[in-house]
Structure 1
Amino acid sequence: MILQINTNRPQALSGRDVTAILGPTNTGKTHLAIERMVAHHTGVIGLPLRLLAREVYARVAAKVGEANVALITGEEKITPPGARYSVCTVEAMPRETDAAFVAIDEVQLAADLERGHIFTDRILHLRGRQETLLLGAGTMRGILEKLLPGLSVITRPRMSVLTYAGSRKITRLPRRSAIVAFSSDEVYAIGELIRRQRGGVAVVLGALSPRTRNAQVALYQSGDVDYLVATDAIGMGLNLDVDHVAFAQNRKFDGFQYRDLNAAELGQIAGRAGRHLRDGTFGVTGQVDPFPDDLVQRIEAHQFEPAKVLQWRTANFDFASVDALKASLDTPPPVEGLTRALPAADARVLDYLSREDEVLKLAHGRERVALLWDACALPDYRKIAPAQHAELVSAVFSDLARLGHVDEDYMADQVQRASSTEGDIDALSQRIAQIRTWTFVSHRPGWLANPTHWQEKTREIEDSLSDALHERLTKRFVDRRTSVLMKRLRENAMPEAEVSPVGEVLVEGHHVGEMQGFRFTADRSAEGEDARAVKTAAQKALAVEFEARADRFAACANGDLALDSDGFVRWLGQPVATLVAGEEALKPRAVLLADEQLTGASRDKVAARVERFVSFQIESLLKPLIDLRDSESLSGMARGIAFQLAENFGLLNRRNVAEDVRALDQDARAALRRLGVRFGAYHIFVPALIKPAPAGLMTLLWALKNDAKDKPGFGDVVAALSAGRTSIVSEPSFERAFYGLAGYRNLGRRAVRVDILERLADLIRPALAWKPGTGSRPDGGYDGGAFVVTPAMMSILGATADDMEAILKGLGYRGEPKPAEEVAAHLKSLEDAAQTPAAPQAASTEATEVSADAGEAVSEASPEQEAEKPAEAVESAPVSSEAAVVEAPAADTEVASAGEAAPEEEPKPVLLWRQGRFDGPRKRQGQRPTGKGGERHGRPGGGREQRDGGAPHRGKPRVRDGDKHGAKHKGAPQRQREERPVRIDPDSPFAKLAALKEQLKK
């Protein structure tokens, strides 16, 4: 067989008219080959990659016109009629040609274990009629001169200097760097890291389609991104503007095993740094050990171990039978310097199919065996298991053998499966690999009944998949916003900014953050260099926006501003300032929430507008409080009480100022009432300040003054207090004084609104004053000086029976437990007695006296105050004996076991309430007080005293009784106060009531 080769092709091992252009990367070898080819009338050039073939095709077409250039690869054929030049992948180069010029690029791949035998075959056998060029690394000189006697060798030096830069972290690599890794997972991980830190990367993988790789390379070349992450695919002729190459890995899987890259392979990749006359550097990342000094010197000097042998496989196949074909593949090389290649993918598929009976039945005769071998050459783009790929080849061969072409339905089904553009990067990469297989099939001569249709169809699908994959890669690994911003900043150009009505900030059309009032918040997804680019671009672009906003804010109406319960001043919902404590509670300070870019006059405008708004809010909502503080119509004790009310935000416990209240004359009381003050049974307060808005503002001012605003749960408590509820469950962690600011009083576990407590006093007062036989029994009345809790009392407070017990005890009432049966029987007897006729005149007179002396808390409620009573404060209804007894929770009854009666529990006692030692509604005039001045027993109004605004009782002089337990004063005589004239306010409701009584007497 060797003799046959030498006889048929004696020129195969000759180097006559062959020139080898050898040297490292960036020596202009490919450029020289293109110039030499177009200088001839016809020519063929073979390149190692389809991507590089596309690039060279474009360059040649630009020189001689597309009509004169053909592109021939396994998956793509552009063959204009009369084309004089052919640009091919090495695998697609013809075995023989009549072209005047032939060039083979990257001839050092002849030593590659997988593809080397194809390069070797073209090197040894393919020649141009006039000129043949072999382009490659200097390591090929010795072996080429040995195999091709008479070879002419030209070496070319590198046009730029390549130096070692050591180890650097990935995030600290300089701009225009390429990071090299050898697995898709590692490439993706590095891409994610750089995107977060530097804005984005372009990705170049061997598995990408040429269209996708071209798009990614264009992304890098345009400057939209400054980093490239790639496999060793960049080492083969990709012309990139790379200044630095960093190795993130130095091990790869070569198709057979994992191994370290040798020095020549490292040099080939590192040589991508620096283009033309611009120097380049190379190094490693923190994931790889620094290169040894001797390796660095060899790469910098481009001195590598020469290639000793080339991979070889016979080109003379024996198609007599499948076994003969397999035997021919084992033919030893004809000359020294060649080594028999390991079984390639096509040989492995043939070996697998040769064990299939169905295949052997079809593969009979030379033509069928040749057809089988042709089918075995179908590339495994999907990189799947050999058995799976062999099944695909078997299906194709079966159709070719039986039908003469691949079945159209089978082809359509396979193409349709690969057409979807949905999915992630890996899914799209798999579909591109799959469609490349059928693109290859469509270009095989005689394999399809309608090859043109399928060539167009598969090309269309591959292009759409490639575009989708490029979009996914860009979306995942490129932050367009940051890349655009950094590019504009490098150009020192003012970015175009726009602020939407909702505050979204767009720079160059990309979202960079939000403007909230006078603060810019960068997009939270920005990190590292991304965040710095966003902030820098935004600051440059928003310089004018701050001034414009300040002018609009200074001229805005009060309706555009709001003061939150958390102390923030908001402009159209956006915070512009926060309040902090000032020297006085009613004069807090405002701190602007603004970036440093708001300066000078613009900042002063904003600050002044905030101050005016805060002052307006306090002066309008707390006007009654300010009027009390600043009133000039008050004097003496009235002025003192007004001052205390102002200091305590409009609420005083009456028993704490009982003596001062008793010292007020009617004019002073009237003056205080005109200022909105109400004298209640338990409290002296300003009803207007209990409304939600003033109450919320007062709690905020108090919290600012007492550093309580940041306490956990502050906002929830303020919201509950400001909602105007009659009572709420109090928060133990908050100071009790805090609730008083909103007009509430802490009683047990609940805080009750003070005006509701006054309404409770209105219900309790007649019940306490009633005695059997004096008229109809009031709701809750039991006997002289005692009452029971009614549903009406619980309803207005929104409280349970347990809550009522704590509330009444807190108000100073004393609970006396009584058996439920006794209480029920007593109430029943009262009802029965009420059924008998009674003297109507006596009852009427007594009722009149009660209404006259019931207390100022009833008559002092203004119409506006009555309108503000909550819906749940229903009017009290007469309570039956059953209702009164139910005040105590019914005893629980447990279900007895079968056949046993459940034991009866005694009903819980009912509490009978009486006047205690603390607060309570004042009794009718004429009853004895419970303590000296009322102070000892906590009664807010003291002992018997003239009602505010009312006339003396029945014209008798006021008598101040001593202690109820006079014995404790050792029989000291009671002191009687002299009668003094009382000036009655004619506009007082009590004066009108007194006049009505006089008329009734007459």
Structure 2
Amino acid sequence: MNIQPKHSQPLILSGRDVTAVLGPTNTGKTHLAIERMVAHETGIIGLPLRLLAREVYARVCEKVGAHKVALITGEEKIVPAGARYSVCTVEAMPRETDAAFVAIDEVQLAGDLERGHIFTDRILHLRGRQETLLLGAATMHGILQRLLKGVSVVTRPRLSHLAYAGSKKLTRLPRRTAIVAFSADEVYAIAELIRRQQGGAAVVLGALSPRTRNAQVEIFQSGDVDYLVATDAIGMGLNLDLEHVAFAQNRKFDGYQYRNLSAAELGQIAGRAGRHLRDGTFGVTGQVDPFDEDLVAKIEAHDFDPVKVLQWRTADFDFSSLDALKRSTETNAPVEGLTRALPAVDAQALEHLSKDGDIRALATGKDRVALLWEACALPDYRKIAPAQHADLIASIYMDLARHGHVDENYMAEQVRRADTTEGDIDTLSHRIAQIRTWTFVSNRPGWLADQLHWQEKTREIEDRLSDALHERLTKRFIDRRTSVLMRRLRENTMPEAEISPTGTVLVEGHHVGELQGFRFTADQSAGGEDAKAVRIAAQKALAAEFDARAERFAACANGDLALGSDGVLRWIGAPIGTLVGGDEALKPRLVLLADEQLTGPARDKVASRAERFVNFQIESLLKPLVDLKNADQLTGIARGIAFQLVEHFGLINRRDIAEEMKSLDQEGRAALRRLGVRFGAYHVFVPALIKPAPAGLVTLLWALKNDGKDKPGFGDVVHALASGRTSVVIDPAFDKTFYKLAGYRNLGRRAVRVDILERLADLIRPATNWKPSLGQRPDGAYDGHAFMVTPPMMSILGATADDMEEILKGLGYRSEAKPAAEVKAKLEAQDNAAREAAAAKLAAEEAARAAQAAETQAAVAEATAEGSEPAVVEAPTEAVAEAAEPVAEVPAEASSEAAAEPAVEEPAEVAAEVAEEVPTVEAPAAVLES
């Protein structure tokens, strides 16, 4: 293969000595090309399909002898020594030749989105020394004259008349009819119906190997069957004895979208009816609406819209580096009339491989980069995902780059997997696609150490598989009886189907499957042949049902929808979509769980309604986080803390932001409190999120963002929260992040809810703040610094004494064991001192009240003696209370935080952390009696 063309080659060669022979099908263009080629001493002809190349190869061999003719395709090379004529697929044609004659067939394919750029390249650059023929549809007339200056255009009229025959039922179609559909399932369903009603049908699909297709065509041509069911594969070059072409479908998926066929495409297929001087007809059948008059007129007169642009891709690739090669494939078309082609399979593979570090390490020089591009030319016969196809190319390339050839053991294993003729039609078709891949590899020069051996081996296997597939097709569509469902196809192509309110799909009263949401599941009892029939039979009802369901879903109430802990959105119990991670944790993406029948505006409505509900759930259940994220009024440190709270889903250990807390002013604290933030002794958190529903959603969003749905413990901790557990024993197998997401903190063997830990702080604080001089000792107080673990403390945590020690240590406290007698004596002494102090204080207060009463009585007596009103001074109740026990009032809004925060900004647990490094008495000690 000429990978790197000469840079001196002009962009577009002249059209002089080029003749374009244009016209509809059945005008003898290919026959003319063969006659002209053998009239020269050497020649090359390019065909659009390997199947056609083999057919033309056989015809040329009959004329000049097989020893003079070469067959060159991607998968097959027959090159006799001294061969004078080459029959190729267009992809396998050389970019430069010294042959006297060159012909390119079906040049209108230069407008094809997938392969067009290859045809365009050959049209513009490949010339015979003496004569060049371009064969194709009349729609190419204008664009060829514009691009190829001096080209001679010859139009050839059709030799027979093509007429529209209207609409006919499948059971009323005339003999020698080809029925055209555009999916394997539809082809098989129609073929089974024809077999039941008419004795059998041959089938032709693009997925069949040339050997299988030829065998199926031979059944039709020989008269063993009178009907052929085919895809548009019959539209190019197959010589068939057809009298009528019936379209059972007029829409197809072109690799990018479902669309109606153009008039030119319909005409290309319809033109297969009638051969030579025998007239032909075309029409519609099944569910296809009759063609309108304008379309009929265009097809009958072969008058189609001209091709305005050809697909183009540069052939002047830059192999200096991998990135340079990628850039060169994206070169824009240089002249009007050409448009840059969409990335083909090779370019898609290159894009994937360029992201592989191992590949980039190997593709370091021009030769290695050129070799990679050559490997990317491997066709995707299996029609798999681009990434999977790229992985296969990577394996081949790494062998070529490192060892100079593909590893023989690897090749043998891949070939062995395909070398079995067991299985059904689909299985055999898949194996043929596999072996075609390795047939292509075996035909690449220099790719294998023993190239001839593998060419023979892969060809032998492909032939065996092709024969087996032909046998299965013949047995299924000619010899075997069909099911009851298929017999009913004679009425309308499809049996009558209906869907119950519960989603049960019935065809002719028989259960064939279930429709849940927007996904159809076929009845598992239907297998093999019936499985395809079941799916097709249900499609009639599903098409209308999907649209109706989309309308109902778009208008449904929020109460009909539910977002599960597994991330699946359900509509009245039926799965509708599933969440996947997005760019931000609070903005996941929704992937619809719907069959391909849900398309266009209906699919958009479903997606829009589902996304609105998901956003509503997040904005409702996680409102504090959403508000914190969008709190533009926050500034400085407060905004930074809000950002961290959002990043950590509403929970931060206070020691982790100790410096920020020291600098946070009261205005910032108040603003954060208004947004639902609580400043506790040990944590800064959002209490509203420590509830089952918000915690479950938070856990799900984190899991989506961090591939955590499959991690141990996903969802389990939220169940503990929902059951009201204030603490749980930590499961060592669980990902510990799930405890934090549910509002728990891991302390020793247990995880404790953070709001419960703050309640624990409320119990500890009076005990550590008490001094003997303040009166009666509160529960748990010891000496005004240390405190004792009390039953209420253990009760709210649901913990044992051993658990409490680990929990308190985790919070920054030190444990100090003291003898019980010492503790008892100290407490009794403190209690006695407190009682004595209280008694002395009471006596002093009584004496003061007595003195005040005596003074008041004397003042009253004096005023009476003077004959005036007594002066009464009455202190308000509140003032008396204040005089009795001074208390610093705390605003209601800040009372919870004031109780939680000591006067020193650094919380006790931070001091404890320091104490663990350098012994000190500043950290409170939990006194444990021994």
* 1:179 aligned partner: 179
1:229 maps to amino acid:
V
* 2:169 aligned partner: 169
Q: State the alpha-carbon separation in 1 of the partners of residues 11 and 469 from structure 2.
A: 47
* 1:695 aligned partner: none
* 1:441 aligned partner: 441
Secondary structure of the structure 1 residue equivalent to 2:299: helix
Q: What does the per-residue CA deviation read over 1:294-315, in whole Å, with 9 as the maximum and x for residues that have no partner?
A: 0000000000000000000000
Q: State the alpha-carbon separation in 1 of the partners of residues 190 and 74 from structure 2.
A: 32
* 1:228 aligned partner: 228
Shift of 1:10: 3.4
Q: Does the 8 Å CA contact 1:320/1:365 hold for their aligned counterparts?
A: yes
1:414 maps to amino acid:
Q
TM-score, reference length from structure 2: 0.51
Determine what percentage of the aligned residue pairs are the same residue: 80
Q: Does the 8 Å CA contact 1:70/1:77 hold for their aligned counterparts?
A: yes
Secondary structure of the structure 2 residue equivalent to 1:19: strand
* 2:541 aligned partner: none
Q: State the alpha-carbon separation in 2 of the partners of residues 376 and 47 from structure 1.
A: 22
* 1:52 aligned partner: 52
* 1:366 aligned partner: 366
**1:63 matched to 2:63:** yes
Q: Does the 8 Å CA contact 2:196/2:481 hold for their aligned counterparts?
A: no
Q: Does the 8 Å CA contact 1:170/1:286 hold for their aligned counterparts?
A: yes
* 2:387 aligned partner: 387
Q: State the alpha-carbon separation in 2 of the partners of residues 332 and 365 from structure 1.
A: 25
* 1:795 aligned partner: none
Shift of 1:330: 1.0
* 1:198 aligned partner: 198
| Alpha-carbon distance change, 480 to 62 in structure 1, aligned in 2, over 3 angstroms | farther
Q: Does the 8 Å CA contact 2:160/2:276 hold for their aligned counterparts?
A: yes
Q: State the alpha-carbon separation in 2 of the partners of residues 378 and 479 from structure 1.
A: 38
Q: State the alpha-carbon separation in 2 of the partners of residues 436 and 452 from structure 1.
A: 16
Q: State the alpha-carbon separation in 2 of the partners of residues 458 and 359 from structure 1.
A: 28
Shift of 1:5: 9.4
Shift of 1:6: 11
Shift of 1:286: 2.3
* 1:460 aligned partner: 460
* 2:451 aligned partner: 451
Q: Does the 8 Å CA contact 1:13/1:147 hold for their aligned counterparts?
A: no
1:315 maps to amino acid:
A
**1:315 matched to 2:315:** yes
Secondary structure of the structure 1 residue equivalent to 2:246: strand
* 1:143 aligned partner: 143
Matches within 5 A, 1:711-860: none
Q: State the alpha-carbon separation in 1 of the partners of residues 77 and 213 from structure 2.
A: 19
Shift of 1:335: 1.2
Q: Does the 8 Å CA contact 1:117/1:311 hold for their aligned counterparts?
A: yes
Shift of 1:13: 3.4
Q: What does the per-residue CA deviation read over 1:64-123, in whole Å, with 9 as the maximum and x for residues that have no partner?
A: 000000000000000000000000000000010000000000000000000000000000
Q: State the alpha-carbon separation in 1 of the partners of residues 6 and 338 from structure 2.
A: 16
* 2:594 aligned partner: none
* 2:40 aligned partner: 40
Q: Does the 8 Å CA contact 1:42/1:85 hold for their aligned counterparts?
A: yes
Q: Does the 8 Å CA contact 1:199/1:480 hold for their aligned counterparts?
A: no
Shift of 1:365: 0.5
* 2:251 aligned partner: 251
Matches within 5 A, 1:343-492: 343-479=343-479
Secondary structure of the structure 1 residue equivalent to 2:12: helix
* 2:636 aligned partner: none
Q: What does the per-residue CA deviation read over 1:574-595, in whole Å, with 9 as the maximum and x for residues that have no partner?
A: xxxxxxxxxxxxxxxxxxxxxx
Secondary structure of the structure 2 residue equivalent to 1:12: coil
Question: Of the two, which has the highest radius of gyration?
Answer: 1
Secondary structure of the structure 1 residue equivalent to 2:229: strand
Matches within 5 A, 1:981-996: none
Matches within 5 A, 1:528-607: none
* 1:999 aligned partner: none
* 2:560 aligned partner: none
Secondary structure of the structure 2 residue equivalent to 1:8: coil
Q: State the alpha-carbon separation in 1 of the partners of residues 81 and 245 from structure 2.
A: 43
* 2:294 aligned partner: 294
* 1:208 aligned partner: 208
* 1:129 aligned partner: 129
Matches within 5 A, 1:71-110: 71-110=71-110
Secondary structure of the structure 2 residue equivalent to 1:342: coil
1:440 maps to amino acid:
F
Q: Does the 8 Å CA contact 1:322/1:354 hold for their aligned counterparts?
A: yes
Q: Does the 8 Å CA contact 1:241/1:275 hold for their aligned counterparts?
A: yes
Q: Does the 8 Å CA contact 2:216/2:470 hold for their aligned counterparts?
A: yes
Q: State the alpha-carbon separation in 2 of the partners of residues 400 and 369 from structure 1.
A: 12
Q: What does the per-residue CA deviation read over 1:201-244, in whole Å, with 9 as the maximum and x for residues that have no partner?
A: 00000010000000000000000000000000000000000000
Q: Does the 8 Å CA contact 1:45/1:87 hold for their aligned counterparts?
A: yes
Q: State the alpha-carbon separation in 2 of the partners of residues 249 and 180 from structure 1.
A: 7
| Alpha-carbon distance change, 269 to 363 in structure 1, aligned in 2, over 3 angstroms | same
Secondary structure of the structure 2 residue equivalent to 1:175: coil
Q: Which runs of 5+ in 1 are unaligned?
A: 483-1002
Secondary structure of the structure 2 residue equivalent to 1:283: strand
* 2:159 aligned partner: 159
Q: State the alpha-carbon separation in 2 of the partners of residues 293 and 6 from structure 1.
A: 51
**1:279 matched to 2:279:** yes
Q: What does the per-residue CA deviation read over 1:588-625, in whole Å, with 9 as the maximum and x for residues that have no partner?
A: xxxxxxxxxxxxxxxxxxxxxxxxxxxxxxxxxxxxxx
Q: State the alpha-carbon separation in 2 of the partners of residues 479 and 179 from structure 1.
A: 19
Secondary structure of the structure 2 residue equivalent to 1:277: coil
Cα RMSD between the aligned structures? 1.5
1:333 maps to amino acid:
A
2:364 maps to amino acid:
H
Shift of 1:12: 2.7
1:273 maps to amino acid:
A
Shift of 1:420: 0.5
Q: State the alpha-carbon separation in 2 of the partners of residues 322 and 434 from structure 1.
A: 28
Shift of 1:333: 1.2
Shift of 1:130: 0.2
* 1:337 aligned partner: 337
* 2:665 aligned partner: none
Shift of 1:11: 7.7
Shift of 1:332: 1.1
Secondary structure of the structure 1 residue equivalent to 2:185: helix
* 1:763 aligned partner: none
Q: What does the per-residue CA deviation read over 1:936-976, in whole Å, with 9 as the maximum and x for residues that have no partner?
A: xxxxxxxxxxxxxxxxxxxxxxxxxxxxxxxxxxxxxxxxx
Q: State the alpha-carbon separation in 1 of the partners of residues 150 and 11 from structure 2.
A: 12
| Alpha-carbon distance change, 186 to 481 in structure 1, aligned in 2, over 3 angstroms | closer
2:137 maps to amino acid:
A
Shift of 1:255: 1.1
Q: What does the per-residue CA deviation read over 1:164-183, in whole Å, with 9 as the maximum and x for residues that have no partner?
A: 01111111100000000010
| Alpha-carbon distance change, 14 to 303 in structure 1, aligned in 2, over 3 angstroms | same
Q: Does the 8 Å CA contact 2:7/2:316 hold for their aligned counterparts?
A: no
| Alpha-carbon distance change, 257 to 162 in structure 1, aligned in 2, over 3 angstroms | same
Shift of 1:287: 1.4
* 1:860 aligned partner: none
Q: Which runs of 5+ in 2 are unaligned?
A: 483-930
Q: Does the 8 Å CA contact 1:245/1:283 hold for their aligned counterparts?
A: yes
2:283 maps to amino acid:
G
Q: State the alpha-carbon separation in 1 of the partners of residues 411 and 92 from structure 2.
A: 23
Q: Does the 8 Å CA contact 1:204/1:229 hold for their aligned counterparts?
A: yes
Q: State the alpha-carbon separation in 2 of the partners of residues 257 and 346 from structure 1.
A: 21
Shift of 1:481: 11
Shift of 1:9: 2.2
1:372 maps to amino acid:
L
2:223 maps to amino acid:
G
Q: Does the 8 Å CA contact 2:242/2:280 hold for their aligned counterparts?
A: yes
* 2:740 aligned partner: none
TM-score, reference length from structure 1: 0.47
**1:241 matched to 2:238:** no
Shift of 1:356: 0.8
Q: State the alpha-carbon separation in 1 of the partners of residues 215 and 34 from structure 2.
A: 24
